[in-house]
């Protein structure tokens, strides 16, 4: 009987996804770590494993070789795969798959809620009421403001539609512009993110963590931005230089930031905890009942396909 290792904490309570594997006659080894597993931790778990349904774990060459030649597929529970060594996977005949579209609504809704929370300073006024104060904070409307969306895949596109519904001006950057956003919704695309930095009131990041995007938000890019800009990141922590962002926040060079993702998770940089112009959430963009179920079921179905001798629907290598 083939064995599937799952390291996504949500899998333990997603019975529909478990049924997909059980109905295919697969044995399931469910691990529920408190945080993403490092390579050295995974190496100890992958012996005689035919498939891995992975969360945000670090799956490098050592892990893949330790699981070879049994391992056939690494099914990512989500759309990011920067923590998986694609080169090693390909060399060892291991498919790496993702689950496109399953969490796009959930992530874009969190990005939007970070925007509204920051614009109305909800986090501050909540703390005042709890302390017995009736202090109010002046906010701003989203209506008429300009949002720059960097990356218009499923998440960025859904965010654009919601911003348009709120009467915002939407400009975007993507190597592959969305035809529908241009033709039906008249979203303006720019050729360089710098054009967004210079005019946007809100900047929302929806790009993968690759060499070209590493620390794209840095001192130089921040210097181009408006002083009342808000930066939202629900994509990958590696897109932002933390030191540059902290300096901009603490000096009020920018208005604020909403961060759901970080270079190191759990996030423990105490400097940010003392700031009142930042909202921090624990990489929870896709953590809704609906997205979790859809994502895990799709990942499980990819595992079944591959272990049945078929090709996966959403490979990235």
283 contacts 122 by C-beta, under 8 angstroms: no
> What's 271's DSSP letter?
H
Alpha carbon separation from 295 to 103, 210, 306 (Å, rounded): 7, 23, 17
User: pLDDT value at position 162?
Assistant: 98
CA 209 from centroid of its chain's CA atoms: 10
Q: What is the pLDDT of residue 78?
A: 85
Q: Provide block-wise average pLDDT over 10 residues at a time, the chain (317 residues).
A: 93 95 97 92 96 94 96 93 95 96 95 98 98 97 98 96 98 98 98 98 96 97 98 97 98 98 94 97 94 96 98 97
What does pTM read for this prediction? 0.85
Domains (ranges, CATH) in the chain? 3-100+288-307 (3.40.50.720), 104-280 (3.40.50.720)
Question: Which active-site residues does the annotation give?
Answer: 236, 265, 283
Q: What is the CA radius of gyration of the chain?
A: 21
3-state secondary structure of 27: strand
Q: Report angle CA 251, 254, 256 to the nearest 5 degrees.
A: 100
Q: What is the pLDDT of residue 154?
A: 92
Residue 131: exposed, middle, or buried by beta-carbon count in 10 A (0-12, 13-18, 19+)? exposed
| β partners of residue 280 | 259
Q: Specify the pLDDT at position 34.
A: 86
pLDDT at 56: 87
How far, in Å, CA of 122 to CA of 120, rounded?
5
pLDDT of residue 79: 84
């Amino acid at each position: 009987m083939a064995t599937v290792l799952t390291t996504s904490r949500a899998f333990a309570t997603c019975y529909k996804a478990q049924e997909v594997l059980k109905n295919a006659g697969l044995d399931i080894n469910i691990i529920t770590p408190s945080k993403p597993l490092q390579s050295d931790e995974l190496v100890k778990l992958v012996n005689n494993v035919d498939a891995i349904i992975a969360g945000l774990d670090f799956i490098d060459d050592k892990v893949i070789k330790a699981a070879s030649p049994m391992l056939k597929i690494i099914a990512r529970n989500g759309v990011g795969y920067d923590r998986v060594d694609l080169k090693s996977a390909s060399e060892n005949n291991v498919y790496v798959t993702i689950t496109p579209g399953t969490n796009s609504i959930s992530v874009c809704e969190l990005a939007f809620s970070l925007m509204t929370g920051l614009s109305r300073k909800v986090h501050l006024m909540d703390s005042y009421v709890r302390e017995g104060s009736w202090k109010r904070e002046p906010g701003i409307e989203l209506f008429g403001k300009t949002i720059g969306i960097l990356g218009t895949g499923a998440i960025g596109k859904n965010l654009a539609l919601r911003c348009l519904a709120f009467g915002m001006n939407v400009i975007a950057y993507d190597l592959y512009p969305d035809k529908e956003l241009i033709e039906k919704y008249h979203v303006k695309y720019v050729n360089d993110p710098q054009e967004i930095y210079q005019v946007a009131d809100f900047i929302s990041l929806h790009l993968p963590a690759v060499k070209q995007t590493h620390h794209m938000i840095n001192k130089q890019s921040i210097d181009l931005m408006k002083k009342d800009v808000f930066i939202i990141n629900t994509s990958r922590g590696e897109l932002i230089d933390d030191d540059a962002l902290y300096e901009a926040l603490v000096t009020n060079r920018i208005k604020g930031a909403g961060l759901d993702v970080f270079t190191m998770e759990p996030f423990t940089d105490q400097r940010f905890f003392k700031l009142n112009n930042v909202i921090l959430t624990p990489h929870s963009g896709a953590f809704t009942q609906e997205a979790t179920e859809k994502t895990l079921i799709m990942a499980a179905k990819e595992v079944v396909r591959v272990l049945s001798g078929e090709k996966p629907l959403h490979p990235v290598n």
